[in-house]
Every structure is written in structure tokens, then in C-alpha cells.
Structure 1
Amino acid sequence: MILDRFRLTDQVAVVTGAGRGIGAATAVALAEAGADVVISSRTESQLDDVAALVAATGRRARVVPADLSDPAAAGDLACIAKAEFGRLDLVVNNVGGTYPRPLLETTADFLEEAFRFNVSTAHALTVAAAPSLLEAGGSVVNISSVMGRVTGRGFAAYGTAKAALAHYTRLAAADLAPKVRVNAISVGSVATSALEVVVGNDELRGRMEAATPLRRIGEAEDIAATVVFLASGAGRYVTGKIIEVDGGLQAPNLELGLPDL
């Protein structure tokens, strides 16, 4: 059965930024596909809620509250997974994000912080997990963004970091082939807490939907389903690729309105 290729029975995954939004939906989707998960973010109460959803699928979740802006903390998750479950098959580098900021207010420190949070943490966890992934023939899925390939005012730091994560994906895939597959998802506008201001405003939401070819804002489960595909046997012939899950965007679907300098 073709659907059997999407199963992750008895595999083990680490998902960062898993307290809510895409990370939470991904952790639950992986559990539904048969995996146990190590889930990490800053807020323990959010992780506990996700762990309860994982438990409802019959799988196990290990909750690890941590400040994942620290690459060392991200790297520790690989050791925790191995100690808790005895193996590690999948890493989902989901933690990241950076607030928009006008170019002339984007300091070098702000740019470096964006790079560390979006790229260095992913690298630290990937390297720490590599021995286990090589042993298991596992995979890595990085969560990038449409802003890593399109242009819009105010996104110099975020877009640069996500573009770097996308190319890091290609380079890491070359280094880890043929035993470990590394892919990324270029995410468009998804209804998570980061978009609460837009989702809760009919006028802004309408503008964003109208500027999206599929005429809707994405759901976290749209991304989670793609993670399952890339992580499972269904995606076993895919590596070094950036999968665009963005509603068809070729340009930002909501400009910040920053004036000419």
C-alpha cells in the first residue's frame, strides 16, 4: 500500500519550537504517523499540552523546556533523544523567526542574532544528531520561509537568515548523502501566533488572502503534512530540496508600508 510509505512506526524525532504553531502541529502529525518525539521550546506549559496530544495517539513525548536561541541547548536535544528512546531518526529544525525592522535600523548585532537563531541553532542540532541519523539512515527537515526567496521591505535580517538556512540545507544534504537526507520547507503565511494581528483583523486578512494565489492563509497542518512526507519513506528519493508550501506566492502578500528613504 502506498500509504505505508508515510508511516514512521517506532521512529524517534526531535522537533524544536514545538510548543505551538507549526512545531506543535508537526509533533502531533509525526506521532500520528507512528513516531515518538522530543519536543522543545521555552514554555513548559505549552509543551505539556502538546505532549498530551501526542499521548492521545499512543506515542510518547519527552518535554524539554529550553532557550533554543542558544545553539548549545539545541544540540543537547540529540543526546536527550538518544538517552530517552535509544535512537534518533529525524530532526525538525523549526525554531526561528525575527521581527521585521527597517534596513537602517537593522544593526549588525540584530542581523547576527537572526542568523544565530535561524541557522546556527539548526546547524548545532544537525551536527549533534548526525551520528545517530547516520546510524538510522534518518533525515533532517528545516523550516525556512518564503521571505528567503522573495523581497519585501523590512525583512533584511529575517529573509537573509532564512535564505541562508535554505542553502545550508543544500550543502548539508551533500555532506550527509547518501545515508541522511536533508530538506527544507519554504513556508508562506500560516495562521500561527506570529500572524495573530493579521488573522484577527478582517481587513488585513482579506488583503493577505487576496494577494495569495490560493486565496487563503495556510494552516500549521499544511506544513506538518509536508514534514511527514519528507521524513518518511514517501520522500526517500528527495534530498537537498526546498519544498515551497506557500499558497503559490511569488511576492509578499502583505507589505509593511515602509516609506521610501
Structure 2
Amino acid sequence: MRGRTVVVTGGTRGVGAGITRAFAEAGAHVLICARRPPEHPLPGVEFTPLDLRDPPAVRAWFDALPGLDVLVNNAGGTPYRLLAGTSAERHARVIELNLVTPLTASLAAYEHLRRSRGSIVMIGSVSGSRPSPGSAAYGAAKAGLAGLAASMAVEWAPEIRVNTLAVGMVRTELSALHYGGPEGIAAVGRTVPLGRLATPSDIGDAAVFLASDAARYISGASLLVHGGGERPAFLDAATVNKESPDQGELT
């Protein structure tokens, strides 16, 4: 990635910080934009305060860049909210942050990326392909993001490649609050086939791969980064075949 300019939205903490660090370590010139600055700035990484929900400000910032090779649409997230527990307006804001702002940033970056024959990496989620109780609006937005990326990959080819990372559970600085401390994190990690939650650097490495020349013929793809997925609940509930693999029948 040496000599290339990379923008990571929301690249100041958690998964975003892991992505920022991975591109910086790969030699890229990394620009990050978010509402709050990083707690631990990285050498050579430039931060700009920017509200991605303000399209004129987003366009002005991208227009002022001298060039761009890679855009990583990482900004997003959601609190735990049951559908009937809050207003439609609050759910709409979650969809705006996780679906509309990546579209806004991608359109603002389009001319730069077309000239450089660059790429876009959308940071999606497994929540976009399975039920997400407590974060339904987020899951719907991530499903829409994968669809948006697939359409972009067709419309903007061959100049711009567009791919999605479908991310599973990641251990960040907020995981202890989310999963109830170290024991909870370990317990949740044991439900993942690879035995642990992802780290931000795992996601960063995958993002660098999709943006690199090694993936030059990959576009319109959705790469699962989830440690093997989630163990189906019925396996633990079923009793047939646990003692003898020759008994019973699966249909």
C-alpha cells in the first residue's frame, strides 16, 4: 500500500482503529474522519473532525483532497434497542448512519477513485444476513449496505472495485460492557468455531487484502470475517446421533 492514500471513516477507535493501524503498517498514507479524535493517535495518520451525516461538509472535505486510492466505509454502530421500545425516528437515525453515510462518502469520493482506479471497502456485518433482535434497524442497514456495494461494483466497474467485509463479533474496548466482563467475553468466544472473538487487527488485515493488488480481480464480493460463523442452536438441543453417528436421519 506504499504511496497510496486511504480514507477510513470512523477510524478512531474499535474496529476502525484496527483498520487504520493495518493500513498505516502497510505503508499507506491514512486519513481518518469522525466526530471525535482518536484517544491514541498513530504516527503519520491525519485526523479530521467530520460529521458524515452532513453531506455538504462531506463533499467539501473529499473535494479538497489531492487524491485518493482507497475508501473504507467503517463508520457505524448501534445501541441495543428493541423495535417496539423506541420511536421510528431513532431507528431511522441508525439506518442513516449505517447505510446512508457510506453512500454519501462513496459518492463524494467517486471522482478521486475513478481517476486512481481505486477501491471501496464497506464494513458490513453478519447482522445483515441473519435475524438481529435488539438491533433490527442496524441489521437491515447492513443488509442494504451489502446490496448497495454489489450494485456499485457493477455500475462503477472497471475503474472502481467495491467489496464488503461481513464482520462477526469483535473484541474491542467496549466488549467488557457488552458481554459482561472477561468471563462473558471468553464464554461468547467459545461459541465461535475458531474459539475467540475477532480482534480489530483481524478486520484491518482483511480490509488491506481487499484493497490490495492481491485482490485486483475481486469486486462485488462479500467476505465473511467471523471465525467460522455461529454454531447452530439445534445442535446443542438435539439428542439424536450424539452417541452413535449411524443412528437417525437428517432431512
Whether the TM-score (by the shorter chain) exceeds 0.5 is yes
CA contact (8 A) 1:90 1:140 kept: yes
Please say if 1:64 is aligned against 2:48. yes
Alignment match, 1:245:
225
Unaligned 5+ segments in structure 2 are 234-251
Instruction: Confirm or deny that 1:26 pairs with 2:8.
Output: no
Q: Are the aligned partners of 1:88 and 1:132 in contact in 2 as well (CA < 8 Å)? A: yes
Superposed, 1:19-98 pairs within 5 Å as 19-46=12-39, 49-50=40-41, 53-55=42-44, 61-80=45-64, 82=65, 86-98=66-78
User: Per residue, is there more helix in 1 or in 2?
Assistant: 1
Change (3 A) 1:54 1:27: farther
Give deviations 1:84-106, integer Å, cap 9, x for gaps. xx210110000001112112124
- State whether residues 52 and 105 of structure 2, in contact with CA within 8 Å, keep that contact through their aligned partners in structure 1: no
CA 12–242 in structure 1, closer or farther in 2 if over 3 Å, else same: same
Cα distance in 2 for residues equivalent to 1:36 and 1:77: 16
TM-score (norm 2): 0.86
Residue 151 (1) aligns with residue 135 (2): no
Deviations 1:16-54 (A, max 9, x none): 1111122122122112222111111222253xx33xx23
Amino acid in structure 2 at the alignment position of 1:165: L
Deviation (angstroms), 1:108: 1.9
Identity of aligned residues (%): 38
In the TM superposition, what whole-angstrom CA distance separates every residue of 1:118-148 from its partner, at most 9, and x where no partner exists? 1111111101111110000000001011111
2:78 and 2:94 in contact (8 A); partners too: yes
SS in 1 for 2:218: coil
With 107-116 and 140-149 compared, the bigger mean Cα shift is at: 107-116
Q: Which residue of 1 aligns with 2:171?
A: 191
Counterpart of 1:28, as a letter, is R
Distance 1:251 1:68, change over 3 A: farther
Greater shift after overlay, 232-241 or 34-43?
34-43
RMSD over aligned Cα atoms: 2.0
- Which residues in structure 2 correspond to 1:219-258 (within 5 Å)? 219-250=199-230
What is the alpha-carbon distance in structure 2 between the residues aligned to residue 196 and residue 71 of structure 1? 34
Could you tell me whether the CA contact under 8 Å between 1:151 and 1:252 is conserved in 2?
no
Alignment: residue pair count: 233
TM-score (norm 1): 0.83
